[in-house]
Amino acid sequence: MRETNYYHIKRFGTLEPFSMIIAGDRYYVITSPEDTRPFFADVKAMTTDGFLDRALLAFGCAPERLHTLWQRNTPTKVNPKGKNLIHLTQDLFKHDLVPGPTLNVLLERYQGALDELLSWDRLVGAYPSLVSTQTEAISLYDICADFIANANQIVLFDRALLAIDPDMAVEMRTFTDELWKLVHRSRLVDTTEVTRILRQYSSAFKSYLQLPPEARPNETPVIRTLLETYAELGIHEDDRAAMLVMICWAGDANAYKAAYWVLAYILYDPQLREIIRQETAPAVGPDGKLDWPYLAKRCPRLSSIYHEVLRLTKRDVIVRQVVRDTALAGKRLRKDSIAVIPTCQLHDNPDTYGADAASFNPDRFLKQPGLAQTTFFPYGGGRHYCPGRYFVEMEIYGLVALMLNRYEMDLAWAAPFPRRDESLVTLGISRPVPGDDLHVTLNWKEGNKN
């Protein structure tokens, strides 16, 4: 059996919290499932604010103005409790991205992006065609990154952003791979490339912000509300652009990698591919329109695969800043330190997921749906679940359903299954090892209308 990170920790004979010093900071590492509940519950002693500061600085917010983003504001209709801008932003996204009318609007916008980006005319323009109904071999990683990055821009922002910088999506993969260099700065790390891309993105959003509202009428309501709030509070132009880059990246970074791994596992097993094609087929109308409630409620095998992919590929850590002395599992955690949960330790745990925890099992969550309610934290935990989790799940289900039912999608040639890259510091889902990929061909199905 392949050893996981869990087994390396277990060799020490305990899953008790332990501490280490990294670059002068003390980290407390939480690895036991039993310790996760108090970790998330102690919201007074352990907060996300310190990590958010680091992220805001990484995306380009000025240190001398950081306090303006955290100061309480005068209550308004949009912000009745007068929260600071950071917490208000979190609230706005939580409101708009939970199941309900506002999420339905976003899914309709996403349907439009699907229709455009997955049309045959667009695909053969982006990827050279060998014959009239079949593409040449296409990198699955390329097509997922290209599609998700462009789709999310179309969903969130007005198309004026694409007109300002048509190549924003092209750089997203490199930016995501290298962003850790800006979050965990060191004189030993070369930040030239990631800084160049950040400047490109910041410049595009500054130009977007300079447009009058009537020149960007189709941005989603949550973005419109945020931009109006930035103006009302007098937030500096550079900080506005930095926060929009952060929002844009957050929508793309994990979604395209999750889509890649889901499709990779499905396509690698012809029997599984046919099972998922048949399961999702009733959700795809003759005109390509998707039945979102059907995808959400009546595709249990696809749901199981999606959750299993998150379990195996989400290899980052959940971070909290310890802002006052506290205790956890009988250990004292001191103020001004950092507490972390490496999610891979929990997701690799055979006591929770069984003896085959190191392997992909497409039916794991189908047979035991309660596993998704245990120590399963691909979206964070406690008060700070990722607000976009419902949209991303539907985004990937919709992509899978259309790709399998609109096209004959096959592996172009036999290849080893891609390995996840554990050598790279990740802020979410792991990428495949560079050079590992699956290549696919798309055959146009007769009877499709676009």
Is 50 exceeded by the pLDDT of residue 63?
yes
> In this structure, what DSSP letter does residue 413 have?
S
Residue 2 pLDDT grade (very low, low, confident, very high; cuts 50, 70, 90): very low
How far is it, in rounded angstroms, from Cα 278 to Cα 112?
23
- For the chain, what percent of residues have pLDDT higher than 70? 94
Reported as a single tens digit per residue, the pLDDT across 262-280 is 999 999 999 999 999 999 9
pLDDT mean across residues, the chain: 92
Per-residue model confidence (pLDDT) at position 7:
47
Is 50 exceeded by the pLDDT of residue 121?
yes
Residue 450 pLDDT grade (very low, low, confident, very high; cuts 50, 70, 90): low
How far is it, in rounded angstroms, from Cα 213 to Cα 309?
40
Contact 75, 261 (CB under 8 A): no
- Phi, psi for residue 332 in degrees, rounded to 5: -85, 125
Reported as a single tens digit per residue, the pLDDT across 331-358 is 999 999 999 999 988 999 999 999 999 9
Per-residue model confidence (pLDDT) at position 51:
87
Per-residue model confidence (pLDDT) at position 290:
98
Buried b / exposed e over 81-117, threshold 16 CB at 10 Å, is eeebbbbbbbebbeebbeeeeebeebbebbbebbbeb
Domain boundaries, given as residue ranges, for the chain:
5-72+84-107+163-254+274-401
Contact 410, 441 (CB under 8 A): yes
Mean per-residue pLDDT, 70-81: 94
Where is pLDDT greater, at 426 or 207? 207
DSSP alpha helices (H): ranges in 211-291?
221-233, 237-268, 270-280
Number of helices (H), then strands (E), in the chain: 21, 12
- Domain 5-72+84-107+163-254+274-401: give its CATH architecture: Orthogonal Bundle (1.10)
Reported as a single tens digit per residue, the pLDDT across 238-259 is 999 999 999 999 999 899 999 9
How far is it, in rounded angstroms, from Cα 362 to Cα 351?
19
- CA quadruple 141, 144, 150, 156: dihedral positive or negative? negative
Please report, as a single letter, which amino acid is at residue 378: P
Does 61 count as an annotated binding residue?
no
**Which value, to the nearest 10 degrees, does the dihedral of the CA atoms of residues 17, 365, 146, 90 take?**
-50
